[in-house]
Amino acid sequence: MENSAKINRTLREQAKPHPVFGGCNKIALGYLSQAQKCVNELNKMGLHVVNIEFDKIKPRVRIEQNAITKKFEKTGQALAYIQGNDGAHWAEYQMMVEGIKVIWRSYLH
C-alpha cells in the first residue's frame, strides 16, 4: 500500500508544471525576442552570425572573427574565457549584446 501511495504522489508531482517556467513558453519566447534584437545589433556592428545555440535556457550567439572582434579583444570590450590547442592555439572571447552572450574563437599566433 505504501508503494502505490509513493508512486501516485510521484506521478502527481511529475504532472505539475515546472515552478520556474509555469508550463508555458513565455520565457523561451522572451529569450527568442532578445536573441533577435541581439542579431539586429550585431548586423549594425558589421558582425556575421554563424549560429545561435539554444542548448541552455538562455541562447548564445556565435559570430565570425574579424577586424572588429580583434578591436574588442584589444580594448577589453570582450573577455577571453577559454583557451585551447587543436593544432593551433586559440582563445574564445565573449561579450554581452542586448543581454545575450556573444562568443567567437580567435586563433593566436
- Mean pLDDT of the 62-81 span: 96
Match 549584446 to its residue by C-alpha cell: 97
CATH code, 39: 3.30.460
Residue 21's identity, in one-letter code, is F
Count of domains observed in the chain: 1
Query: For 3-34, what is each residue's pLDDT tens digit?
Result: 676 666 666 666 666 555 566 678 888 889 99
d(CA 106, CA 109): 10
Range of the domain at 85: 2-107
Match 520556474 to its residue by C-alpha cell: 20
Query: For 37-61, what is each residue's pLDDT tens digit?
Result: 999 999 999 999 999 998 887 899 9
Supply the pTM of this predicted model.
0.74
Which pLDDT does position 10 carry in this prediction?
67
